[in-house]
């Protein structure tokens, strides 16, 4: 049977009641690229906005295989056992490009998914990374309005998607593989500036020593790269598989959050994030508009081949494309 269409009021009431039949549909509405759905989603979000902002928002990144799902499941089960409500969202940087997925199927966290106090949502799949991230950010707000107290946003450890997740969260946790510390190239200044807590996972059995060594090396790298700082990232080891020190990692995250909140830094951080999102959304929509523009689509391949052949400088091709798009003046540099 076809499901009844929901009104904005239905969505609003359903989300506020955390009606588990309505919440996923509200998130589907948010993720939709249909212009009419987008308008309804904007109205819904505006209505929900006064009820948002009450969760701890935590970004979690790690290379494929670092143990993100295992860690999130262990942490989520601990938190739900304490009666806390946890939502897990994901930003998959591969989803927009290939239609494939690095983060994979969230049925991996099947035990957590079965908890009534947990909600797991896979990454939105269509669009640019910016679009995927911006929809995830809106989903985060919806989950807050539904009363989730902890929102975990998972992503893969590659530059741009980590930055976008850091832009929507209060604290950032990087899960590392033991052994990765051998290669200090692996720890970039950029990542160090994003993270609050580094947890070297798989600190058990055969990889225990390697994990401890890696943790030590990260400590040294932090010291030498960042120097003296008020809040240097904290480094811990854990074993998500055996649920060892997952609680300690969470405590470190929470400590960071509490310190930010009581110092007034949290409110300031969230306000700055809002303004950066404004511009990120504008840039993303402009890129999409450029890509979809019929005139641009007509001329782009021809101009690309001319640039490829070396018969037209990229600057001239760019001016032609932008003029076609409607930008009158060539950009002065």
CB of 211 to ligand GDP, least distance (A): 9
Which of 241/281 has CB closer to ligand GDP?
241
DSSP secondary structure, 114-127, as one string: T-TTEEE-PPP-SS
Per-residue burial over 247-278, b = 16 or more CB atoms within 10 Å of its CB, e = otherwise: eebbebbeebbeebeeeeebeebeeebeeebe
Could you give the residue ranges of the DSSP H alpha helices within 18-67? Answer: 23-31, 35-48
CA 45/CA 217 separation, integer angstroms: 44
Which of 26/58 has CB closer to ligand GDP?
58
Which of 205/328 has CB closer to ligand GDP?
205
CB of 70 to ligand GDP, least distance (A): 3
CB of 173 to ligand GDP, least distance (A): 12
Strand order in the sheet with 197-200: 118-120, 86-91, 150-156, 56-62, 171-176, 197-200, 234-237
Give the residues across from 118 on adjacent strands: 86
Which of 40/169 has CB closer to ligand GDP?
169
CB of 110 to ligand GDP, least distance (A): 12
Query: Measuring CA to CA, how many Å separate 263 from each of 23, 169, 267, 274?
Result: 34, 17, 9, 19
CB of 92 to ligand GDP, least distance (A): 11
Give the residues across from 153 on adjacent strands: 59, 89
Per the CB < 8 A criterion, the answer to whether 250 and 230 are in contact is no
Which of 112/192 has CB closer to ligand GDP?
112
Which of 76/131 has CB closer to ligand GDP?
76
Which of 77/260 has CB closer to ligand GDP?
77
Residues that bind ligand GDP (CB under 6 A): 62, 64-70, 201-202, 204-205, 239-241
CB of 40 to ligand GDP, least distance (A): 34
**Beta strands 171-176; 56-62: pairing state:** parallel
Q: Which residue is nearest to ligand GDP (CB)?
A: 67
CB of 157 to ligand GDP, least distance (A): 9
Per-residue burial over 163-197, b = 16 or more CB atoms within 10 Å of its CB, e = otherwise: bbbbbbbbbbbbbbbbebbeeeebbeeebbebbbb
**Residue 246: in which H helix or E strand, if any?**
helix 246-262
Please return the burial class of 15, using the count of CB atoms within 10 Å of its CB with bins 0-12, 13-18 and 19+: buried
CB of 241 to ligand GDP, least distance (A): 3
């Amino acid at each position: 049977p076809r499901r009844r269409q929901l009104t904005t009021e239905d969505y609003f009431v359903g989300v506020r009641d955390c009606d588990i039949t309505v919440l996923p549909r509200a998130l589907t509405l948010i993720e939709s690229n249909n212009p009419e759905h987008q308008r309804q989603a904007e109205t819904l979000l505006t209505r929900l906005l006064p009820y948002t902002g009450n969760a701890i928002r935590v970004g979690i990144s790690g290379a494929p295989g670092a143990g993100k799902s295992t860690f999130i499941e262990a942490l989520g089960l601990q938190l739900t056992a304490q009666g806390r409500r946890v939502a897990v969202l994901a930003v998959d940087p591969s989803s927009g490009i290939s239609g494939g997925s690095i983060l994979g199927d969230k049925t991996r966290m099947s035990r957590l998914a079965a908890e009534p106090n947990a909600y797991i949502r896979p990454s939105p799949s269509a669009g640019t990374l910016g679009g995927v991230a911006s929809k995830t950010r809106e989903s985060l707000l919806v989950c807050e309005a539904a009363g989730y107290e902890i929102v975990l946003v998972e992503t893969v450890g590659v530059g741009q998607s980590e930055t976008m997740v850091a832009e929507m969260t209060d604290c950032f946790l990087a899960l590392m593989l033991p052994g990765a510390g051998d290669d200090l190239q692996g720890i970039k200044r950029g990542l160090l500036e994003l993270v609050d807590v580094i947890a070297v996972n798989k600190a058990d059995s055969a990889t225990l020593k390697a994990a401890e060594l890696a943790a030590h090396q990260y400590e040294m790298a932090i010291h030498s790269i960042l120097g003296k700082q008020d809040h240097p990232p904290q480094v811990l080891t854990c074993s998500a598989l055996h649920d060892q020190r997952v609680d300690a990692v969470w405590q470190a995250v929470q400590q960071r959050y509490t310190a930010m909140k009581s110092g007034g830094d949290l409110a300031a951080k969230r306000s700055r994030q809002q303004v950066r999102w404004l511009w990120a959304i504008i840039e993303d929509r402009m890129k999409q508009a450029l890509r979809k523009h019929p005139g641009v689509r007509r001329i782009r391949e021809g101009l690309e081949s001319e640039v490829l052949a070396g018969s037209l400088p990229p600057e001239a091709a760019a001016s032609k494309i932008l003029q076609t798009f409607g930008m009158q003046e060539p950009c002065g540099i």
